[in-house]
Amino acid sequence: MNRSSVLERLRAAAPVIAPSMLKCDFGNMHREMQLLADADAAVFHLDVMDGHFVPNLSYGPMVINSLRTMTDHPFDAHLMISNPDRFLDDYIDAGCDLITIHIEAVPDPTSLLQRIKSADVGCGLALNPGTPVSKLLPYLDDCDLVLVMSVEPGFGGQSFIPDAIPKIAQLRQLVGSEKLVSVDGGIGEATIARTAAAGADIFVAGSAIFDAHDYRAAIRQLVELASGAARTV
């Protein structure tokens, strides 16, 4: 799927619940992918961690390439890694449709964002809870998506950090309606409405989906809560 098609598809589907594959059953990935597809998940969020940029390890391009054979759903790869320029082509070749890098890992991401777009892949910039929105300002025109971390990156199941709300609102005002605003961390029934009201389009959810007995019901409930939240920006 090309870059423009993916971005158009996600804008049209908003609010989008993006299952965080970090929380799935790695012993039965084919079943998990099918259950999520049957639950009308619009995109799969792939958390890539290197044990250096964040204190945890997850999976890399070889695993993503294997997953790519199981579905044609869009893959949203969140690279929580140091030196993403060294490995970027591997994730492009693995079939990622969106690739997000961290401003903390690449102080000047301009060339990397352009490189991602030149491969016809959507490009995103993420910022950690302790990083101000101002760090992204010079690069907003170059990216298709901005991702606000509402927990410290590296582990699933953490509690939502409320300081993410004003960041989401500020970014929504800055980027308008053409770019996607995503939020990742602690998203569930108690937090999704506030992030939707602040202006988020994509909601990365792990425990709220994978701890449920019925993925379809869990995703539907999150969509309803996000849809029912009156946007304040």
Active-site annotation, residues: 47, 184
Find the DSSP H helices in 60-201. Answer: 61-68, 88-93, 110-118, 164-175, 192-198
Locate 227 and state its tokens. 């849809």
Separation CA 231–CA 84 (nearest Å): 34
Separation CA 116–CA 125 (nearest Å): 12
Q: Which candidate, 156, 218, 144, 163, places its Cα nearest to that of 188?
A: 218
- Give, in degrees to the nearest 5, the angle at Cα 73 between 231 and 109: 65
Q: Which candidate, 97, 100, 76, places its Cα nearest to that of 148?
A: 100
Locate 74 and state its tokens. 């869009």
Phi-psi sector, 137: left (phi>0), alpha (psi -120 to 50), beta: alpha
Separation CA 55–CA 106 (nearest Å): 18
